[in-house]
Structure 1
Amino acid sequence: MKAGLLAALCLLAAPEARPDGPTLQVSGAGTRTVVLQSGLGDDAQVWDALRPLLERHYRVVRIDRPGYGASAPTTAPRDPCTVADETRDRLVQAGIAPPWLLVGHSLGGLYQYVFARRHPVETGGLVLLDPTHPAHWATMQQEAPGLATALRAMRTLAFSDTARAEFDAQAACLDSLDERAPLHRPTRILVSDRPGPLENAHYRAMLGRLRLDWLRRLDSPGLQVVWDSGHYLQREVPQDVADAIDAVAREAVAP
C-alpha cells in the first residue's frame, strides 16, 4: 500500500478547502477533468512529475484528503466510501462537472474504484496504479503473516494519525458495494514489476492473484506490467501513466 509550469496553458487555482473535507488543487487548460487520488500517507505533491504532462490537454485536480497537505484533519470516518463521497461532493461544490477521469495510486486506487462503483454515471473512466485490492489486507494476514506483522509495527510506530485511520478502515464499507457484475467503464490498470524491500515470494504470489482479480471487477483489457518499475509509477514512468490516461480519455464519453 504501499518533481514545470506551462505558463500559457496552466490555469493554476489556489487550493480550495473546507474545514472537514479535502482540498482541491486545480490546474490545466483542458475540457476533460482528471482527478488524481494519492495513496496512504501521500499528499498531492506525489503527482508533481505527472501533472505537467497532463495540463496541456486536461483540467487536472489533485486532492489532499483531510489530514494531508493543505487539508485539516477530520474526525469523520476514513472508510473508502466516505472518502469517495467526500471527493465527489467537493468536486460538485467546486463547480467541476462530470464525467471525471479517475486516477488513483495504491490505496487511492481503491478509493477511486469505490468512487466509480458508487457514482458510475459520473465516472468517465479509471486509471489505477498499483491499486490496493479490496481484499488486500485480509489476504495478507492469511497468506503473508510475517509481512503483516511488520506492517502492524509500522502502523504503530511510523504512521500518522490520519494514515492509521485510513489503514484501519480500508475495508470497512466494501460489503455495501454491488459487485455482481464488472464495472463497465474504460479502464487501464498499471502495475509495477520491482519488488519492495520487504516483499517475499509468498507476498508476490498473493499480489499476483489479487492483481488478476481486478480483471473480474473491471472492464479492463488486461494488466499493463511496467517492467523494472517500483511502486510509485507516477514518479518513475509518468509518460506511461499519461499514455494510459489518454487511452481511457479516447474511449470515454465526451463531457
Structure 2
Amino acid sequence: MQNMKDPGYEMFIAGVSILSVFNLIYELLPGTDIATVYVVLTINIFLTAAFVGDFLYRFFTTPSRSYYMVHDWGWADLLAIAPFFRILRLIRVAKAYRFISRYGTGNIRRELSDRRAESAVYLLVFVVILIIEFGSIGVLYAERPDPSANIVSASDAMWWAYVTITTVGYGDLYPITNEGRIVGILVMTTGVGVFATFAGYIGHKLLSPTKVKEKKEDEVSGTQEPPGLDRFVKESEAREKEILARLERLERALNERSDPHDPATKP
C-alpha cells in the first residue's frame, strides 16, 4: 500500500490496463478488420508510454525501491511495459482492486471529491483515448461497405475522430453512411462534453491560486470581504458612517468656535 498514489490516478491506471488487455484480445480475434487493428496498435503506443511513465513515477517516489520491485510487484510493472507481456497489466488492475478494498469506497469518494479537478483530468485523458479508439473503429466498420467512402484507413479514422471531438471540423473527412453518421453524432456529443470539462479545469487552475491567496490574507487580517452585491453594500455603509462621523466632528467644531453668549449655542 505504500506505493499507492491518489485514488484518481490509481483508477486511471486501472482503466488504461483494462483497455490494454482488451486491445490484446481484440488483435487476436479471427476475421478482425486490418484497419481497425492498426487503430488499436496505434493506441497501444500511447498506452505503453503511460505505463513507462507510471513505472518511473512509482520507482522514483517509493520509500523503498527494493520493496517495490520485489514485494509490491514492481518487476511485473516493468515487464508489462513490453508489448508481449501486456497480460501482466492485469496485475495493475488487481492492485487497484486491493487498494479499493483496503482503503474503503467511502474514503475514496471523499478523496475524489476533495480533488475533483485532478480526478477530472485523469478521467478526461482516459475518455479521450476511448473516444478516439472506439470512434475510429466504429466509423471504419460503418463506412467499409460503401465504395465511395472517404474514411478507409486507420489514419483517416483517427484523424477524423480527433478533429471531431475538438470541434474543429475541417471537413476533409466525413462519414457518408447512416451508420457512420450515427457514430459521428456520438463522437461529437461526447467531444463537446470532454473539452468543456477541460476548459473548466484550465479556468479553475488559473483562478484558484489567486482566490486561495486572497482567502488566506483575509483570514490573517481577520476580515473577509463579501463578494458581489454584498461587498458593495458593505462598502457603501462604511462610507456613509464615515461621512456622518465627519459631519458630527465638524458640527462640534463649529459650536465650539461660536459665540458663547449666543442663545443657539447654549445647552
Same fold (TM over 0.5): no
- Which structure has more strand as a fraction of its residues? 1
- TM-score with structure 2 length normalisation? 0.28
Q: Name the structure, 1 or 2, with higher relative contact order (CA <8 Å, separation 6+).
A: 1
From the CA coordinates, give the structure whose radius of gyration is larger. 2
- TM-score with structure 1 length normalisation? 0.29
